[in-house]
Chain A
Amino acid sequence: MTVYHLKTPISEEEIRKLKVNDVLYITGTIVTARDQAHRRALEYFKEGKRLPVNLEGLAVFHCGPVVKKEDEKWVAVAAGPTTSTRMDIFEDEFIKNFKVRVVIGKGGMGKRTTDAMAKYGAVYGAFTGGAAILAAKAIKNVKGVEWLDLGTPEALWIFEVEDFGPLAVAIDSHGNNLFTDVAKSVEENRKRIYQKLGLQP
């Protein structure tokens, strides 16, 4: 296990050094996007429109933050990750078109995303589910927000972060997926459990 501290924008070469089980902390810019924002971003790309933020080398964060406005300025109060599987249907295109280098969320993602990460050079960083204060404290500044018409949780929040993490590298850019590995060993373990408890499958 190696601990990496990377600054955005992250290059393909840098991200390819990471392997599953490594730990990553990010300093720089991360942008939130959930289902709706993913969909709209891909529509923009198809129509040849530019996104309001250039995502190249940045991290996209599956998160609907709790934010409040203090003296006309947005502050992130709680910003834990949401379940990533809902974004699986968009993420391969998203990585390909916008060259994001890190996808942050919880629960892991599937084969399509894993393949795209290997092909274009990106990793999935699992952020601890529920650890909302830990995330919020690493957000030093809300640099901006776009697409607020989608609602606060679904908008693109542009966060300036310092040592945002720990992110467990659960999918690397070499085709490894920790969640798939765990699922496989759970299948094996199920047999052992049934045996131990004397159960018939």
Chain B
Amino acid sequence: MKEQVVCKTTELEPGEMKAANLGKQNVLVCRTLDGKFYAFLNQCNHQGAPLDKGMICGATTDKSKPGDYHYCRKGEIIRCPWHGREFDIKDEGRMLANPSKKLPSYKVRVEDEDVIVYK
């Protein structure tokens, strides 16, 4: 399966995510607060949890100093439903605590109201 319409733009509000199928693969479609769409394999690269059961949120960032929390990136972080590992939607799905690990990603384009995911 090369590409597929996974949903309408109106079905996913900014800050939301949902699971969809691309052929045999289960894909996580995410929409950040600026309205953009992203897609990743819907399976955590740690122990395989279904990421759509987690949440999209912000994160305490590496700008934080000991005892001083710096929180931002709202709507740009996927947090896994099991062990809570955080993945950066806008940075190729990299894990915050270990950026060398990425969630496998897909390309996304929007045509009219269709959100299309492809390899």
Bound together: no
* Residues of chain B whose beta carbon lies under 8 Å from any beta carbon of chain A: none
* Residues of chain A whose beta carbon lies under 8 Å from any beta carbon of chain B: none
